[in-house]
Chains A and B, each alone.
Chain A
Amino acid sequence: MKKGIKSRFFSRRRSLFTIGIICSVIIAFFTIIGPFIWNADPTATDYANQCLPPSGEHWFGTDNNGRDVFTRVISGAHLSIGVALAVVGIGAAIGITVGIVAGFAGGAVDTILMRIVEIMLSFPGIIFALAVLGTLGNGTEHQIIALAAVRWAHYARLVRIETISVMNSEYLPASRAIGNSKLRIVFRYILPNIIGRVIVIATLSIGPVILAGASLSYLGLGAQIPSPEWGLMINGGKEYIRQAPWITVAPGIAAVFTAFSFNLLGEGIGDLIDPRLKEKAEVD
């Protein structure tokens, strides 16, 4: 019955989770400590060294303004990832609240909240974000608000469905019969049973949010030139993609690598948090 620690650790799902942790630690290292090690000015131009290919001196080469791409990717990480984390965090907080209230209360409250969510979801996300930014004005904070205003509705819909499935479980009437208060049912019954899925979905959405943030930066909303935001860098380098592909490829790989790591991390956390998922994982 009991498997050895070794086989447990090296089961397929666990090793993917381990990779996710390692990648995330690498990302955290470069994001938090990186700028202090490679502390060259990411915006310093050097027109004598435009579009140099990767070398020992410039690991990812230089861009069309002679700026070191590696330094820019590193110093841009906190901007790109920070915005995405803030968006997902705020969006999930609102989405969880709305979703649980709708699913738990049911009836008219549910109907009203879900119509609002549907209206939100019926807008193309980027258009809505543009409208919000158009109203609030440019800037990173406003970019976070704009993206979170789009994201929360996705989480709310998921959380509502998960909440309803808990409401329809057999343990919920049992918890009411024994006399648990509504507040306790929400925090000790509903929340723990849905949070695994929510964390997985939230972590999985970090990648797309990074890209959405980049799109807004490209359109001139959010991060501004010459700040080293990944999306901005990709878009800035696209005219030189034939001569100097590294200008776009380097921040692109950084974004994909980040999204990939957060995906593995998200699924691993989901397994850990939810014992039912863990059981399934140990079977395969």
Chain B
Amino acid sequence: MLEFKNVTKQYRSGMFGTHLTKAVDDVSFCVGENERLGLLGESGCGKSTIAQLAMKLLKPSKGSIEYNGKNIKHMSRSEMKNYRKNVQIIFQNPQQVFNPRMKFRETISEPVRIYNLASSPEEEKKIISEHMEMFGLPEELFDRYPQEISGGQAQRIAIMRILMLKPEIIIADEPTTMLDVSVQAQILELLKEVMDKNNITLIFVSHDLDVVRAMCKRIMVIKDGQVVEQGSVDDIFDRPENEYTRMLVDSLKE
């Protein structure tokens, strides 16, 4: 469904922009229906850049990103809208990703309005309150601003908001890193449940081996923007071939 073909993203740096830094270097991979792919790597390795490239928040310097065989770079406005409806992202810091000047009432209704999911205000209300209930979110949150709720609640809202779109692929970019340990497990459990129930493909970006193992079936290990090893969870954990992967796995086993 979603395919990266030799994608490279480089930044110019230095005084005259002569120095090129490769954040993502010749990365190729493909995710199919109902797949669970983990992108594993330490911070700064380029895994978040991959997530942003997939969301077209950044443009690749080389290579192409294709959705059902169509390059997202060449998509028309309506195709892009369809793409965004089907490929969604959960960000790392739930308390920073919502407009601090917008109450949740409006923030939550955004996807419903943008994608015309409801034909009337009553239907919109119904869709939203159904989802709120499903996610155990009280309706009093409607009148709150993002800075007035907890990180766990904010992340629940973030997941709920994109779930209303019924996407095919969800990219989770370190969705639990900024949360309290006690909340992390809840959010992961919720995410897993949601994925299974709706047959959603998950691309899970994390530096946490344990979490990736719990969430994913296939793992890509990334270092310095390059894919150093990929394979099934068992292969990576039991028979790591790459030295860097072995080091990561060993550090966990200790």
Contact = CB atoms under 8 A, between A and B. Distances in A.
Interface in A49-96: none
Interface in A162-213: 169-171, 173-181, 188-189, 192-193
Given A170-B97, A275-B100, 18 more contacts: A170-B91, A170-B93, A170-B96, A171-B99, A173-B57, A173-B91, A174-B89, A174-B98, A176-B55, A178-B84, A178-B162, A179-B115, A189-B99, A192-B99, A193-B101, A274-B101, A275-B101, A275-B145
19 contacts: A170-B93, A171-B97, A173-B57, A174-B98, A176-B55, A177-B55, A177-B84, A177-B89, A178-B162, A180-B114, A181-B114, A188-B99, A188-B106, A189-B102, A192-B101, A192-B102, A193-B99, A275-B147, A279-B147
A180 B110 CA distance: 8
Contacts of A12: none
A276 interface: yes
Interface residues of B, number: 26
A189 to B, nearest CB: 5
B63 interface: no
Interface in B55-107: 55, 57, 81, 84-85, 88-89, 91, 93, 96-102, 106
Select the residue from B57, B81, B97 with max chain A CB neighbours within 10 A. Answer: B97
Contacts of B89: 174, 177
Interface in A116-173: 169-171, 173
Interface in B139-175: 145, 147, 161-162
B98 A171 contact: yes
Nearest to A169: B96
Interface of A: 169-171, 173-181, 188-189, 192-193, 274-276, 279
A146 B84 CA distance: 48
Interface of B: 52, 55, 57, 81, 84-85, 88-89, 91, 93, 96-102, 106, 110-111, 114-115, 145, 147, 161-162
B114 A178 contact: yes
A192 B102 CA distance: 9
Nearest to A173: B57
Contact of B91 (A174, A181, A274, A275): A174
Given A170-B93, A170-B96, A275-B145, A178 B101 contact: no
Contacts of B115: 179
A192 B145 CA distance: 13
Contacts of B93: 170
